[in-house]
Structure 1
Amino acid sequence: MELIYRPKTGNFAGLEHHPYQNKDGLFVVSKDRFKKNYIYVNTIEEVYAYLKEGLKVRMRYGKNPASLIALESLNVC
């Protein structure tokens, strides 16, 4: 499974964003931007399960800062 986000506007419009992994290789899902609410998971399948519950995943392009993205904005392959 792969999750891809392509913004429609802004500096990164059309560029593929991929789920952010922290230094421990974990993906981050959250209901908001506050670190106290982060949930760290090991696999994309776990990320997808949380997305279906209404949480968002941190995604980024290259080395740029990550953003929280909801399931309805993602392409799931």
Structure 2
Amino acid sequence: MELIYKPKSGNFVGLPHKPYKNKEGLFVVSKDRFQKNYIYVNTIEEVYAYLEKGLKVRMQYQNNSPSLINLMSLEIIS
């Protein structure tokens, strides 16, 4: 499974954003931008399960700052 986000406006319009991994190699999901609410997971499948529950995933384009993106804004490739 692959998750891709392509913004519709802004500096990175149309450029594919991929799920962000932290220094430990874990994906980050959260209900908001506050680090105290971050949930760290190992796999995209775990990320997707949290997205289905209404949480968001941190996505980034190359080395730019990651953003929280909800399930409805993502393209999902099996």
User: For this structure pair, what is the TM-score category when the shorter chain's length is used for normalisation?
Assistant: over 0.9
In the alignment, the residues of structure 2 paired with residue 53 and residue 13 of structure 1 have an alpha-carbon distance, to the nearest angstrom, of 27
Q: CA RMSD in A?
A: 0.2
Moved over 6 A (4+): none
Aligned to 1:11: 11
How many pairs align? 77
Give the superposition deviation at 1:65. Answer: 0.2
Give the superposition deviation at 1:46. Answer: 0.0
Q: Under a length normalisation based on structure 1, what TM-score does the superposition of the two structures give?
A: 1.00
Give the superposition deviation at 1:39. Answer: 0.1
Runs of at least 5 residues in structure 1 that lack an aligned partner in the other structure: none
Percent sequence identity over aligned pairs? 74
Residue 72 of structure 1 aligns to which amino acid in structure 2? M
Residue 38 of structure 2 aligns to which amino acid in structure 1? Y
| Partner SS, residue 45 of structure 1 | helix
Taking the TM superposition and a 5 Å limit, the aligned residue runs for 1:1-77 are 1-77=1-77
In the alignment, the residues of structure 2 paired with residue 27 and residue 61 of structure 1 have an alpha-carbon distance, to the nearest angstrom, of 15
In the alignment, the residues of structure 1 paired with residue 65 and residue 76 of structure 2 have an alpha-carbon distance, to the nearest angstrom, of 22
Runs of at least 5 residues in structure 2 that lack an aligned partner in the other structure: none
Give the superposition deviation at 1:26. Answer: 0.1
Give the superposition deviation at 1:28. Answer: 0.1
